[in-house]
Amino acid sequence: MSDKKNLLPSDKKRDRIIKFKAKTNPNYGKSPNERSVKEILENGVINIDKPQGPTSHQVDSWIKKILGIEKVGHGGTLDPNATGILPIAIGDAAKVLQVLLTADKEYIGITKLHGDVDKKKIFEVCKSFVGAITQRPPVRSAVKRVNRKRKVYYFDVLQIKDRDVLFRVGCESGTYVRTICVDIGKRLKVGAHLAELRRTMVGHLQEKDSVKLQDLKDAYTFWKEDSVEKEIRSIIFPLEKFLNHLPKIVIRDSAVDALCHGASLAVPGVVEIDSDIKKSNLVAVLTLKGEGVALVKTHMSTEEIIQKDSGVCASLERVLMNKGTYPSIWKKS
């Protein structure tokens, strides 16, 4: 089995560029790490390791019962037989799930060939699926069955045993690995199907950091009955964790409430920005304390935002912070 060498586009490292030095008022807002367990339970996220068998919606239902809450949602549905990362949002954090629907994914699976094929040929055909591919969603899918293009960033054959091919694939969101396996079988002229599948990465969420439902139940019980916070804090995180794969723009305190009321982001409100942001990128806007304010679509690149002193640099896509968390200085001005 080969070592992992490939990276998803979301793994790209970015530099943080400071446009202006600014301070934040400690009387408003709160660093995500300073939120209480009660606050996180009202607006938190979990990286669940989904077991084989239940549907993603059944997992939601179980978590509702474990935590005694009404609002639970998941990002990126896994088939009942598939296992691995299932991002869960609880309470008001459901608003960040949309960013994971577009996040790159990684899977490890087994393709079962329906006939004997030379190993060299298997490697060649699997490698040919790297790049832009066209595929039609399988019959049992929740989307319209029309041809669509997707990107496969890497497809590594890890091991071949008889007719079983163990593989690792990194791909764009919305790629059907089951369909890739069928298409590989067609190209090999023997037929094939997906026998097992495990999701190992969603954006920056990794398999090694995922937790089982029993771990969640135990941690919640320890906190509820004995006021032990360590375990539950290592399982349920502030909603900002689901924003880790996105580029960031940090804004001054005086610009926060304007975005919360639906305003576009103007250049004077920006104090820090990540490198390599392009026009039309989906970007997370943060406070100087690291709180998620909103998701925006950029109208300017990093270079333009750094160079300009005025103008609208991004339009609002989704508000993440409650109105009134920061003072309405913009209304006074």
Are 203 and 212 in contact by the 8 Å Cβ rule? The answer is no
Catalytic, out of 3, 11, 60, 79: 79
Cα–Cα distances (Å) from 93 to 46, 71, 236, in that order, read 10, 9, 11
Number of H helices, E strands in the chain: 10, 17
Rounded to the nearest 5°, which phi and psi values hold at 34?
-95, 0
Task: Tell me which residue of 212, 252, 216 sits closest to 233, measured CA to CA.
Answer: 216
Do the beta carbons of residue 296 and residue 269 sit within 8 Å?
no
Residue 161 token pair: 């045993």
Residue reference for tokens 């790297």: 130
Catalytic (active site) residue 3: no
CB contact burial 215-228 (16+ within 10 A = b; e otherwise): bbebbbeebeeeee
Cβ atoms of residues 8 and 199 within 8 Å: no
The Cβ of residue 46 has, within 10 Å, a number of other Cβ atoms equal to 24
Enzyme catalytic residues? 79
